[in-house]
Every structure is written in C-alpha cells, then in structure tokens.
Amino acid sequence: MRRVVVTGLGVISPLGNSVDEFWENIVNGKSGAATITKMDVSKFKTQFGCEVRNFVAEDYIDKKELKKYDLHTQYAIAASDTAIKDAGLDFSTVELEDRYDMGVIWATGNGGMGTFEDQLLEFHASNGVPRFSPFFIPKMIVDIAAGVISIRHKLHGPNYCTVSACASSNTAVISAFDTIKMGKAKLMIAGGSEAAIIYSALGGFGAAQALSKRNDAPEKASRPFDKDRDGFVMGEGAAALVLEDLDYAVARGATIYAEIVGGGMAADAYHLTGTPPDGMGAALGMRKALKEAEITPDKIDYVNAHATSTGLGDMSELNGIKTVFGDHPVAISATKSMTGHLLGAAGAIESIVSILAVKHDIIPGTINTETLDEATPEGLNIILGESVKQTVNYAVNNTFGFGGHTATSIFKKYTE
C-alpha cells in the first residue's frame, strides 16, 4: 500500500478566496454570515447565509465559456485551478502516459440546482413555452464538475462524483486516498463545491426547520453545541486538495502539507435526516479511520467536528466522540461557526482546516457558543472562543449526511 500526501490546496469560501485569507479568518474567529444579497429573501423566515464574496469568474474562466457552467462548477474550476497551482503543477508539461494515472473525484450535494431552478422559473414565466438552454442538462448534472476539471487539464485517470449529502466531499477525499493507496493512480484532485443559496434550497431547508432564524444577528447564528442554537447557516463555495503518491511527490520536489493516513466510511442506518442520539454512526466511522491509520485514539490531537449547530446532530456527534476517545482530552472545535454549512463542500473545506491545523500547530476556536448544551457529555475538551496554539500531529475530520452517511478522514504531520 502506498503512502498518500497532500501537496496543493484551494478554496473559494465565505471567508476568502485564497487559502491564506481563509486560514487567517478562521484563526481569528471571523464569521462569514450576513444578510443574503444575491436574491430577494424578504419573504423568507431565514434571510441570511454565508455567501462567497468578491468572486470574479472571469479570473478563472474565459467569458465565452461561462454560459456552459452552473455556479457550483465555476467554484469548482476556481478552487481546483488554485490547488493545482499551489501544488506547483503544470499538466501541459506532463507526459500523456503519466496523465493516464491522474484523475479527479469531485463532490457536490446538489449540483446544478440553481440552474434547474432558473430554467423552471423561466419555463413557468413563458406560460409553458419551452425555452430550455442547450446547456441545461450538462450544467445541472452532479458529475459535471468532475468531468470539467479533468477535461480542463487532460487528466485521464479515475473520474467521478461522490454524492452522500453533507458527507460528499469528505467521501471524495477518502475515495481519492484509497485510489492512490491501492496503486490505481499516482495523483488525484479531490474536493467539492456547492452553490445552494437559492430560493428552493433556502425554502426547503427552512421548511424542514433546519435553518437558524437569527435575522437580527446573522454573524452569531451558527453556534455549535450552544444550548440556544436554532439551526444551521447556509454556506456556499468550494475546496480542492491535490493528493499524490508520496514517491511521485518527492520525485518532483513537491511541497507536502500533510499525509492522509485513514478514512472511515459507514452508515448509521437510522433515519432519513436524523442521527442516533448515542452517536453510533459517528463512532463507527471514526473507529474505521483509526483502524486504517493503525493508531489508537490517544494519538489524535484535534477533531474538526461536523457540528452544524442543530439540536440533535451536535449532541449525537459529541456522544460518538466520547464513545471513541473516552477520557482522552482531544481538542474539539467546529469551524462551521464561521463558514456556515457548505453542504456537499463541507468535508473538503474542513479537510483543509484540519490539514492547516496540522501544518501550523493551531487549533481554531468555536465562535458564538456561549453556554454548552446541558446534554454535552462530561470531560470533553471543546475549544471555545480564540484559537489555541498546540502541537497537532494527527487531526480527524468528521462529516455526516442526510441518509445516515458517515465519513471520517485522518491527517498526519508529514515526516520523511
């Protein structure tokens, strides 16, 4: 089995469109939440979210090409291009035979849902006269971002999309890790993108009572583990990782951020949208990841919790963490308190947080949480408020999705 390392990162996010800006805002505890500006939400119960700001698609994509791509694909192109550049790669100079062993696994929970909504609204407005764009289907389908990235860089290796709701992009990272580890590729681009701040998603999640309604103070609305939390904050954006076979990365002189050593995927097989109160699914995924990494729970220094700021979900995960780690004082924090919930892209952007925590030995704090829920298990080391400087040799990234999907990845400080 081959060792797999991370050599490139890219983000398009509510906290910045470069890795440096994103990480600075994460470490400084900045909230990305504000009143939604891209559409009229005055009639909605929730009127805020974590929008991507200052994104200029033409900086990454030829203006003539833009009409072919839904916003989630535009975000995917931008994040993956940034990660590729960060990794010091120029695929135009890579031999075709090598590109046969380079691929893309890209995730999304909703794909081109915005395109679907726009086309149906236009169809309705035209009194049923079909005026659908010839790009409607390729803009909408969930696999298209993976395909576009591979076409853009002429990568002929494994190429597909993972869809497991809010666990989607962590599943993509784990799948890319597995692909390289088993010798089926030597380089993979993995990540996820989401552009679901649209009427139907805002209305749908709102109807499910999943969204916070703190319209008077959106920057304080995402408050994981807090006794007064009232739902998650919708986010959008993309995150990309370049994963490589260690030997290939070393041979080309790549800079290595961290090593990925474990990935656990499971199902709690419990409920359509809920998670079991005892955290069984979360515990199962973490245990599988630890087993693959061949380490014991006491080796883990940091857990980036999925923690969306929902009543049952937060406590279920903490119970799972308590089950796995027992009295080991592993540091826990929830960066969705700053980014909001990027849905299918959440796992990838939180993988980047975990990787940078390992690289810089900094554990980001959890903002907005003032009083822990009374149901919080005793003895947990939840980092509230400011970030903490602490050695991080191993970091765990948890993600969970509607349908009972569980995905846990483990990143390790790289040593030769």
Q: What residues are annotated to the active site?
A: 166, 306, 341
CA distance 348 to 167: 9
Strands 102-107 and 159-162: parallel
Find the length of the chain. Answer: 416
* Contacts (Cβ under 8 Å, ≥6 apart) of 326: 297
Strands 405-412 and 394-401: antiparallel
End-to-end, the C-alpha distance of the chain in Å comes to: 16
The one-letter amino acid code at 206 reads G
Convert 201-256 into a string of H (helix), E (strand) and C (coil).
HHHHHHHCCCECCCCCCHHHCCCCCECCCCCECEECEEEEEEEEEHHHHHHCCCCC
Q: Are 394 and 408 in contact (CB under 8 A)?
A: no
Dihedrals phi, psi of 337, to nearest 5 degrees: -60, -20
Using DSSP's 3-state secondary structure scheme, residue 20 falls into helix
* Contacts (Cβ under 8 Å, ≥6 apart) of 319: 277, 278, 279, 282, 377
Residue 292: CA atoms inside 13 Å, Cβ hemisphere, count?
A: 25
CA distance 340 to 343: 9
* Count of helix runs (H) and strand runs (E) in the chain: 13, 15
8-state DSSP, 166: B
Angle, helices 19-27/346-360, rounded to nearest 10 degrees = 80
> Among all chains, which residue has been given the structure tokens 């959440």?
346
